[in-house]
Structure 1
Amino acid sequence: MFKTSISANGKKVLLVSYAIATGCFAQAQGISTALNQVIKNTAQGHTLQVPGLLNEQLPLLTYQKIVLPGPQFLISDDPEYIRVPEGVALREPVQPGSVRLYLYNVNGVQEPQKMERKIAAVIKNTGNQPMHIRMLKYSSQQPTTNYFFAGKQGLADFFASTPETFAREIKPGAAICLDPKQDKAVVKYDELVHGFYEFVIDQPGEISIVQTDLKTPATVAAARVKTTLSTKQYAGAGRGTYGISNYRIIAKDTLDTKNGLAQILVADGEKDPWVIGKEATTGELKSLDGNYGILYNIELSWKSSDGKALALMTWNPRGDNGQWCGGMANTMVVSGGKFKEGIIQLPNNQLVTTKAPEAILVQIFTPSADGSVQKIHFTYSPPGASCLPTPLVLVPVDLK
């Protein structure tokens, strides 16, 4: 696997430091020539070593956050580990229209012994007319213990998917598996079932996430299990129905490369708070710790008064926070620049990035010939299995 690093006679190059001005952008003294070369020569999506560059005190770009119209949003990740042989981890009503479901559950059965299970999403038609269901976006991975891969590949598949041209029909009172493959997949102990779905329905319904044995149809198990498992929020992000599924993030000020480094920070739980939803079975309000499954459509205006390009990078600032934060993997959709517009897995030369001084190059945006203002667009979603936040760092670089 290719990995770019900075070296000079076998030693790391010391980067020129920069000052952080309170309440405004840092006035950078400039990155070193060696680091500039590394960034310029790194392939899109690849990791690179940037010693001395990354820290959580980089100047923040302020932004407006707009709630966009979007689907009803459900997430099943609390309890994340289903410890009983048969149980329902989530049961939520849905109304006619579009629905997004993020399924993130693990076979955690240890008693009376570890055993193979199935975990599946079931949708029941609770209306009085036939329901028609059609997938708009679809992502489903084989059960795996590689949670980072599931999160990264899941987003990539979701972004790349296209709407189905046919609809399935469900009679009143009947139910089907939302993802038929899940009714056949064997889930071993500690394996994750990861699914990310967006679909449209024309009747009211009910969605259940059920774990059961391999011989029992998921629809049968969902019907006979009358209660949901208790929540264990210390072991999962959340469950229930959330009123926000899409954000638009618009930077308030035009970034100028002459002002040096800056970062966009979302999904940190403070500047960008966790969204609140409601769990139907208990009526309790639930925080979605991580905003997983929410799409951020980010828009940034920038210009180059000094002729420099603008590199977009990301990194894992929580790499030292225990075993669960030791890696970060993501997928984004990014507008064109030095590299073409499209979906990019981060990183795409290895499974995860670990911690500073390692970063991932997402894109390099090239300056306009006359220094005029340009627009950058990218789509971000908090990466499943990764600790947050994942800062989006903008670094001026010289491409000459």
Structure 2
Amino acid sequence: MKITLGLAIICGTMQLNAQTIKSEEAISLLKAKQGNVVLLKDFFAIKPADIKYNKVVLPGPQFIISDDPEYIRIPEGIALKEAVQPGAVRLYVYNVNGVKDPVKIDRKITAVIKNTGKGKMHIRMLKYSSQKPSTNYFQIGKQGLADYFASNGNEQVRVVEPGAAIAIDEQLERNVVKYDELTHGFYDFVIDQPGEINIIQTDLNTPGPVALKRIKTVIPTGHKNAGRGLFGVSNYKVTAVDVLDTKNGAAEFVVADGVKDPWVLGVEGTSGKESTLAGNYGVIYHMEMKWKSTDGKGLALVTWNSRSGDNQWCNGMAATMVVGKGKFNEGIVQLPNDRLATKGAPEVILIQVFPPAKNGEEQVIKFTYSPPGASCLPTPLVFVPVDMDLVK
């Protein structure tokens, strides 16, 4: 994940033209395929209007993230230890094999759950995303979200005896994680006994549950990355306050900036201290906006890398969203899908085009967003009025 020193924090200062778009740029958007990068050379001038929104915490799973330390520098240790209660759990694993002293060595990074209750634990996966370890963090970030959004889980129920432990993801048990490679897993599951989740780095030949019995070291937090702990929010409902009218020009949603949308707070289990989820990575935003067209124009929804000029960590951005039907069908779209990542202005990524209603009545746009791992934040979601008649 990227923020300052490894993850993204604050909104960039690059600005967009909130009033007009040149015909040739509108044509470029209207001719582009969904998810493709489009160059808008004359569009970056004036900041678009902010879309004011209400944000409500939705019921959701207990949420645990493991990203501090992001780079696990010792050969064997526990990077996270958190207690969970019966019910739904979301686990986001984002850890890198950082062992290089005295030499770089292959490692295993795995997630283990221990049954701390008195009865048998039953665990079932509701949603699942597990990526092959790689140094291509952008690809892992956007593919990980795409797989999570597409997942329907499975009906398999695994049983864990009291006091016993199992691997949450058997694929992590088999992975070979080379130096500087990222382990990325995103899981929603349900349990019926209290448990303890551990993220472990160990050797390739030792199963995670076996390693858990012998490892005594819980690596201290460094407070340099997204965070570590059990957090109080996993899902938000974001609703625009006003009806967007295309006659008023471009406008943007900005979430996950740490300012107007503060970072989620939680508790780090080992120390008992407050923890901050810098970036709100793993939080799912269910977003909704009403709009109308009193001038006959449609809306193009785009995003871009607003942090490209900040530092070396922010020179690229890649994301994934679920967007409602418009010119393109409803569904999951990787951003971008014609290359690995977008750089910065004048590049934007086309997410969807929404045609105006024939009678000018209000319409509702719904989409699902989660801050993309490995990218600096925020990634503004910009609605640009476009004359649909320019392309027949």
Name the TM tier (shorter chain).
Answer: over 0.9
Q: Distance in 2 between the 1:100 and 1:245 partners?
A: 8
The one-letter amino acid paired with 1:379 is: T
Q: Does 1:271 align with 2:260?
A: yes
Q: Distance in 1 between the 2:160 and 2:42 partners?
A: 58
Q: Distance in 2 between the 1:36 and 1:110 partners?
A: 50
What is the CA distance between 1:172 and its match in structure 2? 0.6
What is the CA distance between 1:111 and its match in structure 2? 1.5
What is the CA distance between 1:183 and its match in structure 2? 1.0
Question: Number of matched residues?
Answer: 374
Q: Distance in 1 between the 2:150 and 2:166 partners?
A: 25
Show the counterpart of 1:22. Answer: none
Show the counterpart of 1:312. Answer: 301
Show the counterpart of 2:194. Answer: 204
Show the counterpart of 2:289. Answer: 300
Show the counterpart of 1:175. Answer: 165
The CA deviation string for residues 326-348 of structure 1, in whole angstroms up to 9 with x for no partner, is 11000000000000000000000
Q: Which has the higher contact order (CA 8 A, sep 6+)?
A: 2
| TM-score, with structure 2 as normaliser | 0.94
What is the CA distance between 1:227 and its match in structure 2? 3.5
4+ aligned runs moved over 3 Å, structure 1: none
The CA deviation string for residues 256-282 of structure 1, in whole angstroms up to 9 with x for no partner, is 000001000000000000011101110
The one-letter amino acid paired with 1:208 is: N
Q: Distance in 1 between the 2:109 and 2:163 partners?
A: 22
The one-letter amino acid paired with 2:150 is: A
Show the counterpart of 2:21. Answer: 31
The one-letter amino acid paired with 1:359 is: V
The CA deviation string for residues 362-383 of structure 1, in whole angstroms up to 9 with x for no partner, is 0001111110000000000000
Q: Does 1:376 align with 2:365?
A: yes
Show the counterpart of 1:5. Answer: none
Task: Note if contact 1:55-1:317 (Cα within 8 Å) is conserved in structure 2.
Answer: no
Show the counterpart of 1:221. Answer: 211
The one-letter amino acid paired with 1:85 is: P
Query: Where does the alignment leave 5 or more consecutive residues of structure 2 unmatched?
Result: 1-15
Show the counterpart of 2:10. Answer: none
Task: Note if contact 1:337-1:363 (Cα within 8 Å) is conserved in structure 2.
Answer: yes
Q: Does 1:44 align with 2:34?
A: yes
Task: Note if contact 1:56-1:317 (Cα within 8 Å) is conserved in structure 2.
Answer: no
Show the counterpart of 1:133. Answer: 123
After TM superposition, the structure 1 = structure 2 runs for residues 1-400 of structure 1, keeping only pairs within 5 Å, are 28=19, 30-54=20-44, 57-234=47-224, 236-400=225-389
Q: Distance in 2 between the 1:249 and 1:329 partners?
A: 22
The CA deviation string for residues 9-34 of structure 1, in whole angstroms up to 9 with x for no partner, is xxxxxxxx95xxxxxxx5x2x21111
What is the CA distance between 1:51 and its match in structure 2? 1.4
Task: Note if contact 1:148-1:384 (Cα within 8 Å) is conserved in structure 2.
Answer: yes
The one-letter amino acid paired with 1:293 is: G
Q: Distance in 2 between the 1:154 and 1:215 partners?
A: 26
The one-letter amino acid paired with 1:32 is: K
Instruction: Assess, with a 3 A threshold, how the Cα gap between structure 1 residues 31 and 339 changes in structure 2: closer, same or farther.
Output: same
Q: Distance in 1 between the 2:380 and 2:45 partners?
A: 10
The one-letter amino acid paired with 1:113 is: V
Q: Distance in 2 between the 1:70 and 1:307 partners?
A: 39
Task: Note if contact 1:263-1:393 (Cα within 8 Å) is conserved in structure 2.
Answer: yes
Q: Distance in 1 between the 2:148 and 2:381 partners?
A: 21
Task: Note if contact 2:85-2:195 (Cα within 8 Å) is conserved in structure 1.
Answer: yes
Q: Distance in 1 between the 2:197 and 2:42 partners?
A: 48
Task: Note if contact 2:77-2:216 (Cα within 8 Å) is conserved in structure 1.
Answer: no
Task: Note if contact 2:167-2:208 (Cα within 8 Å) is conserved in structure 1.
Answer: yes
Q: Distance in 1 between the 2:64 and 2:46 partners?
A: 31
Task: Note if contact 1:318-1:388 (Cα within 8 Å) is conserved in structure 2.
Answer: yes
Task: Note if contact 1:89-1:210 (Cα within 8 Å) is conserved in structure 2.
Answer: yes
Instruction: Assess, with a 3 A threshold, how the Cα gap between structure 1 residues 308 and 209 changes in structure 2: closer, same or farther.
Output: same
| TM-score, with structure 1 as normaliser | 0.92
What is the CA distance between 1:121 and its match in structure 2? 0.2
Q: Distance in 1 between the 2:338 and 2:44 partners?
A: 21
Q: Distance in 2 between the 1:287 and 1:273 partners?
A: 10
What is the CA distance between 1:138 and its match in structure 2? 0.1
Q: Distance in 2 between the 1:131 and 1:120 partners?
A: 20
* Deviation larger for 71-80 or 215-224: 215-224
Q: Determine helix, strand or coil for the equivalent of 1:351.
A: coil
Q: Determine helix, strand or coil for the equivalent of 2:326.
A: coil
The one-letter amino acid paired with 1:205 is: G
Q: Distance in 1 between the 2:108 and 2:251 partners?
A: 45
What is the CA distance between 1:55 and its match in structure 2? 6.0
Q: Distance in 1 between the 2:279 and 2:103 partners?
A: 32
- CA RMSD in angstroms, aligned pairs only: 1.1
Q: Determine helix, strand or coil for the equivalent of 2:388.
A: coil
What is the CA distance between 1:221 and its match in structure 2? 1.2
